[in-house]
Amino acid sequence: MKITVHGCGYVGLVTGACFAETGVSVVCLDIDSDTVDRLQTGDLHIYEPGLEDLVQRNLEAGRLRFSTDIQAGVAHGDAQFIAVSTPSGGNGEADLRQVFAVADSIAGHMTGYRTVVCKSTVPVGTCAKVQARIAEKLKERRAGFACDVVSNPEFLKAGGAVSDFMHPERIILGTRSERAIKYLSRLYAPFQRKRDRLMVMGPASAELTKYAANAMLATRISFMNELSGVAERVGADIEQVRAGIGADKRIGYNYLYAGCGYGGSCLPKDTDALAQTAREHGYRAQIVEAVSGVNESQKALLGRKIQAWFAEKLPGRLIALWGLSFKPGTDDMRGAPSLALIEFLLSQGARVRAYDPVAIERCRALLGDRHGLEYAQSAGEAVDGADALAIVTEWPQFRSPDFGLLMDRLREPVIFDGRNLYSPDVMRDKGFRYFGIGRGERIARDNGSGVHPVGEEVFRPWGSFEGLGQGEGYQVKRLRVLPGETLSLQRHRRREEHWVVVSGTPVAERDGESHSLNVGDHILIPLGAVHRIHNPGDEPAELVEVQLGDYLGEDDIERFEDVYGRA
């Protein structure tokens, strides 16, 4: 059997190489001569596990060729696969110009019947338009033959595309042509020897199935990201929630991981295109629209957490970034959450040192030389001297790092985990400040009043405080001071404070005198006294603080010395 694949991008290259592996004679066409020349030598322009070996093996066997000769390509294949890009337009609609250009080329060079197979992800009705377009061209040529156009959507995961193609869960053919069904059934026979995976339906149903599948996956991700926001606010752990609902067989565990948003060439583009398709037909797909909105907000979440932690001290800080590609197993940067985070951090005056096992060059090509952005050659180099670590892509090598070495290399033991790779309890025991998505510590901003809601824990570089109670003229807090940390030297003009030690051995400084404290000790900080607290111990120190006065606002703090630059 002979086929031609139009487009040597991600889908086209995988399609051509996998069919060649079964003995099919394949020609892959592309208009980019540089790309074709590279591929003909086995030099791939994309990274996908297993694909390079597959291409090299079939090049050497003569079953796979790459060319820019469209006329020869159309003459070669009984089936013409369209596998070109359909990027999003300004309103979310799919840009079909490349699809129609290929259709015109096929129609202009056909010398007999061809089965035209649309692998590109396209809106409902596109195959009918391609069919009509080719038919019109053939009529103009007064050709005595026709063609059938079939929707055959791809279901390939980046990082697992070769396996997905070789071991498909389903093979969908959208056509009413028995001739096309018979030919494509033979072509796909090697991929369904254990059981029949072929599903034949109308072209519109096949096109909608592709969009619906990606929209469903995106919905599950955005739903979990919505829940993670609830979990942070009520004190739940989203990973425990995921385990609980995933155990229900009606729900399952796939695509239920909260994180810093999804990216790639499919989910963002296809959800937008599905929503636009609905609008064009007089219907508003509200859930689909909301899914995209949640994802855009989620991509900004890590940046907001980092900004809340460092506050006005973010400019000049060095943030180590682990992971650039939108998911592990690929160098694809399209729609990657890392891009949103990098742009935000640079806009705030922070510096970024990024590492990714395979996507650095692709990121460099996208962002160019940017002031404040540098790339590391290893995960360890990325964190050397960094003020915090942000994890954006869950590459396997990030799952079990040497935490002792990580602690030594970071200037501050702070981790913002956009993929929830680590246990918050384990990270706390190891001495890290750990902020995940829907789990770990929570960062809250002051509201300016100085009175914090009961039960809300507010994190600071020196530790944290939590509101325990409040009323007219008083406020009670729990202070947690990390080992080696010191609060600012300060005084209040409208309130006094009482400190009671409940754990640790802190040292209180009051009007120039130091007081070593133990569990159960109490010290009064009178109105106007210059004071601060320091924890010289190896364990966190906890104190209960009672504030009494006619005004408890934050602007009643006058700072004299502060290691965090707030004086």
Q: What are the start-end ranges of the E strands in 252-330?
A: 318-322
- Contact at 8 Å (CB) between 303 and 352? no
CB neighbours of residue 278 within 10 Å: 17
Q: What are the start-end ranges of the E strands in 187-293?
A: 198-201
Dihedral of the alpha carbons of 364, 365, 370, 374, in degrees to the nearest 10: 10
Q: Which of 28, 118, 147, 266 is catalytic?
A: 266
Contacts of 304 (CB under 8 A, 6+ apart): none
Contacts of 101 (CB under 8 A, 6+ apart): 84
Q: Rounded to an integer, what distance in angstroms lies between the CA atom of residue 198 and that of residue 389?
A: 47
Element (H, E) at 355: strand 351-355
| Three-state secondary structure call for residue 247 | coil
Rounded to 10°, the helix 267-280/286-299 angle is 150
Sign of the dihedral through C-alpha 135, 138, 144, 145: negative
CA dist 202 to 107, 124, 173, 176, 445, Å? 23, 11, 8, 6, 54
Contacts of 387 (CB under 8 A, 6+ apart): 310, 317, 318, 319, 410, 411, 412, 414
Q: Rounded to an integer, what distance in angstroms lies between the CA atom of residue 66 and that of residue 64?
A: 7
CA dist 165 to 6, 160, 388, Å? 17, 9, 40
Q: Rounded to an integer, what distance in angstroms lies between the CA atom of residue 122 and that of residue 494?
A: 67
Q: Taking the CA atoms of the chain, what radius of gyration do you get in angstroms? A: 30
Burial of 128 (0-12, 13-18, 19+ CB in 10 A): middle
- Contact at 8 Å (CB) between 265 and 86? no
CA dist 469 to 13, 353, 478, Å? 63, 42, 10
Q: Rounded to an integer, what distance in angstroms lies between the CA atom of residue 326 and that of residue 507?
A: 47
Q: Rounded to an integer, what distance in angstroms lies between the CA atom of residue 567 and that of residue 561?
A: 5
Please give the structure tokens belonging to residue 548: 């009494």
Tell me whether residue 266 is one of the annotated catalytic residues.
yes
> Of the candidates 169, 164, 147, 217, which has an alpha carbon nearest to the alpha carbon of residue 48?
164
Q: Rounded to an integer, what distance in angstroms lies between the CA atom of residue 527 and that of residue 149?
A: 83
Q: What are the start-end ranges of the E strands in 176-241?
A: 198-201
CA dist 511 to 342, 388, 490, Å? 45, 35, 10
- Contact at 8 Å (CB) between 346 and 319? no
Q: Which residues are catalytic?
A: 266
